[in-house]
Structure formats: structure tokens, C-alpha cells
Amino acid sequence: MADEAERLDVLFEALASRHRREIVYLLALQPESISRLAAKRELSLPAIHKHIAVLEEAGLISRRKTGRTTYLTLRRGPMRALQSWLTQFNPYWGSDGESLTNYEAYLQADPTTTPEEQR
């Protein structure tokens, strides 16, 4: 469990930057070269390389060199780990109507009771 929690910490830390989330989004659409990512995000090559290094350390992306061009690809495994962790909150979120009902119940709940006692 601790290993999984540490792994999630690394993933969330890597995704804490808006620029890195944008890179992940673009790579989810298709593999891209580093230079094209830099151009699309209007970042300098040194800046994009720093963001890429963080994403690589977290295991979110992999690189492949073809000739002189380096292509980046999003790795599915870490994204599945994030999705799996977030899925545990589905009962709380539910559909939009359910979310509002849950929130209304939360607002009306006695603050001295625990969530288990409210069920």
C-alpha cells in the first residue's frame, strides 16, 4: 500500500504543473516530437526538456529516437493507476444530479456525526 501511495504521489506531483498537464493531454492525442511540443506550448527547448524530464521520471511518458528526432509517447499504465485511484470517488460524485443531492445532504448533515453514521 505504501508503494502505491508513493507512486501516486510521484504521479500527482508530475501533473501539478499546468504545462506538464498540457503536454500529457497533447500526447494522449498522438505521439509528438519534442520540438513540436515546444512550439505548440510556446516554451523554450530548455523549459520543455525540464518538464519532459519530470514526466519521464514519473513514468508517464517514454521517448523514441528516429534519426535526429525524438518522439514522446504517453504511457498507459500510470494513467490507469490515476484513473483507478480516482474511480473510488464515483459513489460520491455520481451523476450531476446525484452530486448535487449528495452535496445538499452534506450541507444539511449534523457536523458532529461521521460520514459512516450519516449513511
- pLDDT exceeds cutoff 60 at 62: yes
Residue 71: pLDDT band with limits 50, 70, 90: very high
* CATH architecture group of domain 2-79: Orthogonal Bundle (1.10)
Q: Where in the chain is the domain with CATH 1.10.10.10?
A: 2-79
pTM of the shown model? 0.73
Other beta carbons less than 10 A from residue 15's beta carbon: 18
Q: What is the pLDDT of residue 89?
A: 78
What are 4-41's pLDDT values in tens digits?
889 999 999 999 999 999 999 999 999 999 999 998 88
Amino acid found at 100: L
22-61 in b/e burial notation, b at 16+ Cβ within 10 A? Answer: ebbebbeeeebebeebbeebebeeeebeebbebbeebebb
Write the DSSP string, 54-109.
Answer: HHHHTTSEEEEEETTEEEEEE-HHHHHHHHHHHHTTHHHH-SHHHHHHHHHHHHHS
Distance separating alpha carbons of residues 25 and 51, to the nearest angstrom: 13
